[in-house]
Amino acid sequence: MDISDNLSVESKTLKVNVYTSLVALSVLLVSWIVMSQSLKLKAFGKKIDKIPGPFSIPILGTLVLIIIPRSEILEVIIRWTRKFKDGCFRLWLLNEPVIFISSPDHVQKILGSKEHLEKAALYQVLKPLIGNGLITADVPSWKAHRRLLINSVNGKMKQDGNVQPLVFSLASLELGLGCSPLKRYEEDINAATQELFDYVVSERRKQRQTHDINTNEINTESSALKNQKHIGRGALIDTLLDAAEHSENEITDEYMKNELMTFLVAGHDTSSETMLWALFMLGSHPELQDKVHDEMKEIFGDNRTPEITLDDLSRMTYLDQCIKETLRVYPSVPLLMRKVNTDVELEPDLIIPAGAEVAFCIPAIHQNPSVYKNPKKFDPERFAADKIADIHPYGYCPFSLGPRNCIGKRLGEVLTKIVLAGFFLNYSVTSLQKPEEVKTVAEVTLGPSKPIFFHVKRR
Ligand code: HEM
């Protein structure tokens, strides 16, 4: 064996040693990461378990949830809200904790804060449908886009005193999409809508270009003609296209379609479920329905097909109370969820640890007996002008509250009101089932567990 053989054996041994050390180091590193993660999780779990809740076991979580039927789940959550101190309890969904809160002061601490704007992981299920639109957006892009869109949602209504066109473009579609036969074709509708948006975005872009060329060619000082360029603008799609023209906004076609889909999804079923529940409640309380009809007659006299204006809507105070009470008893979005970024001290002995997911069960918040006397009763008088101030501002949240509330709140209210106003001016309705016979099913929106039947009569 010569010296070069020795060197080659030594270098092989050295290589083996380096590999062994690297493998050992990697194993150590991975074990350290796993251990520190599991210690963190254990510490996190311990903090969560300081919050009371129904019986749960490690890994499998709160087992009882498996056997509760879908139509009972809301009632069970409301019961737990009443059972646990301060209306706060934790559930374990397998290994993932969720903390439910319901007291208005606690709700305010999270929804009212600028700190806790992040949505919970559950919202990811909506991403295939609406991508990074406002509802599912992460906080930085939400901030940029919310600022951009808010004026186009509310501004359009202020410009057009007559709100009827809004209803024809949105609510007629709403009533169609909200009804159950079409639910069967949901996938096809979604695919077709995406295709439609492709078409709408590209056509609108072409139209705008042609219009820009024409108005530039006219080259006149007439302000009327200059303004023509903006006729029809102010719609959501134009706000997005305007923003896309300024590259710093990074508005892609994909984002534009997702945002249009977000507004369609967020605006339609919510408003149509509200209309449905309002019909059901007023159809079950004929004396309240008569008051609504009297109000319509007072505003419109014998005109059965009026062009309803914003001014007319502001005079419909009793109908407004009925819609508010409908949204209290049947909030069309039953569940909101956030992830908190810092520890939140709800009470000195009740702390939500940073990183936890918090759920707001709106029906449970709306049936809090310390906010509402006799909470099960449908009573529009709660929202009369001289009583509304008695309601804690965070005890009523059908449109959520705080910085990340519903951007379409005003539009949703106007749509619902105008459709119901037209209806009660011309028709009377009787619900063929009693309220106690119809249960609710909480999905993304709050629907009835079975079809509701009405008898409708022309007045
Ligand atoms: C009665 C009708 C409506 C109800 C009850 C309602 C309720 C809500 C609620 C509770 C949220 C918060 C969701 C969450 O935090 O996860 C929300 C968000 C939202 N709503 Fe509505 N909504 C209604 C109508 C509308 C309409 C008509 C539009 C659009 C034209 C709309 C667009 C949106 C959007 C885009 C968001 C996300 C806002 C953001 O994260 O910044 N909503 N809505």
Taking the domains of the chain in order of start, what are their residue ranges? 52-458
Atom of ligand 1 nearest to the CA of 411: 27
Cα–Cα distance, 350 to 85 (Å, whole number): 10
Cα–Cα distance, 256 to 263 (Å, whole number): 11
Cα–Cα distance, 189 to 193 (Å, whole number): 6
Give residue 386's Cα distance to chain centre: 30
User: Which of 130, 319, 406, when mutated, tests ligand 1's pocket best, judged by the most ligand atoms within 8 Å of its CB?
Assistant: 406
Phi, psi of 338 (to 5 degrees): -130, 160
Atom of ligand 1 nearest to the CA of 262: 35
Position 411 scores a pLDDT of 87
Asked whether 225 and 215 are in contact (CB, 8 A), the reply is yes
What are the angstrom distances between the C-alpha of 431 and each of 154, 435, 436?
34, 9, 12
Is the pLDDT confidence value at 69 over 50? yes
Residues above pLDDT 90, as percent of the chain: 55
pLDDT digit string (tens) for 207-227?
766 655 554 544 444 444 344
Asked whether 61 and 94 are in contact (CB, 8 A), the reply is yes
How much distance in Å is there from the Cα of 266 to the middle of ligand 1? 5
pLDDT band, very low/low/confident/very high, at 425 (cuts 50, 70, 90): very high
Asked whether 366 and 400 are in contact (CB, 8 A), the reply is no
Is the pLDDT confidence value at 231 over 60? no
Helix ranges (DSSP H) in 50-138:
73-83, 104-111, 127-130
CB of 445 closer than 6 angstroms to any ligand 1 atom: no
- Reported in sequence order, the residue ranges of 36-120 that DSSP labels E, i.e. its strands, are 89-93, 96-101
Question: Among the listed ranges 131-135, 139-143, 197-201, 305-309, which one has the minimum average pLDDT value?
Answer: 197-201
Position 232 scores a pLDDT of 47
CB of 267 closer than 6 angstroms to any ligand 1 atom: yes
pLDDT digit string (tens) for 263-289?
888 988 899 999 999 999 999 999 999
How much distance in Å is there from the Cα of 126 to the middle of ligand 1? 14
- Residue 284: Cβ within 10 Å count: 18
Asked whether 240 and 415 are in contact (CB, 8 A), the reply is no
How much distance in Å is there from the Cα of 411 to the middle of ligand 1? 10
pLDDT band, very low/low/confident/very high, at 241 (cuts 50, 70, 90): confident
Position 42 scores a pLDDT of 80
CB of 134 closer than 6 angstroms to any ligand 1 atom: yes
How much distance in Å is there from the Cα of 272 to the middle of ligand 1? 13
Asked whether 372 and 366 are in contact (CB, 8 A), the reply is yes
How much distance in Å is there from the Cα of 225 to the middle of ligand 1? 37
Pick out the residues of the known binding site for heme: 406
With b meaning 16 or more CB within 10 Å and e meaning fewer, what string describes 402-424? bebebbbeebbbbbbbbbbbbbb
How much distance in Å is there from the Cα of 46 to the middle of ligand 1? 35
Mean pLDDT value of segment 123-141: 92
pLDDT digit string (tens) for 321-361?
999 999 999 999 999 999 999 999 999 999 999 999 999 99
Is the pLDDT confidence value at 178 over 50? no
Is the pLDDT confidence value at 318 over 80? yes
CB of 135 closer than 6 angstroms to any ligand 1 atom: yes
Is the pLDDT confidence value at 31 over 90? no
Q: Which two tokens stand for residue 339?
A: 């992830």
The sign of the torsion formed by the CA atoms of 289, 295, 301, 307 equals negative
Report DSSP state, residue 97. E
How much distance in Å is there from the Cα of 361 to the middle of ligand 1? 16
Mean pLDDT value of segment 312-316: 95
Position 172 scores a pLDDT of 37
Q: What is the mean pLDDT of the chain?
A: 83
Is the pLDDT confidence value at 98 over 50? yes
User: Which residue has its alpha carbon closest to ligand 1 atom 17?
Assistant: 406
Asked whether 296 and 303 are in contact (CB, 8 A), the reply is no
Question: Which range has highest mean pLDDT (75-79, 162-166, 249-253)?
Answer: 75-79
Position 253 scores a pLDDT of 83
CA angle 312, 317, 322 (to 5 degrees): 120
Asked whether 299 and 316 are in contact (CB, 8 A), the reply is yes
Pick out the residues of the known binding site: 406
What are the angstrom distances between the C-alpha of 376 and each of 32, 193, 238, 273, 373?
54, 39, 44, 19, 9
Asked whether 89 and 102 are in contact (CB, 8 A), the reply is no
pLDDT digit string (tens) for 381-401?
999 999 999 999 999 999 999
pLDDT band, very low/low/confident/very high, at 18 (cuts 50, 70, 90): confident
Is the pLDDT confidence value at 1 over 90? no
CB of 419 closer than 6 angstroms to any ligand 1 atom: no
Domain 52-458: top CATH class: mainly alpha
Residues above pLDDT 70, as percent of the chain: 77
User: Which residue has its alpha carbon closest to ligand 1 atom 37?
Assistant: 135
Question: Among the listed ranges 54-63, 163-172, 200-209, 366-375, which one has the minimum average pLDDT value?
Answer: 163-172
Give residue 54's Cα distance to chain centre: 27
Position 392 scores a pLDDT of 97
Position 2 scores a pLDDT of 59
User: Which of 138, 152, 270, when mutated, tests ligand 1's pocket best, judged by the most ligand atoms within 8 Å of its CB?
Assistant: 270
Position 399 scores a pLDDT of 98
pLDDT digit string (tens) for 428-445?
999 999 999 999 999 889
Coil, helix or strand for 49?
Answer: helix
Position 202 scores a pLDDT of 74
Mean pLDDT value of segment 85-89: 95
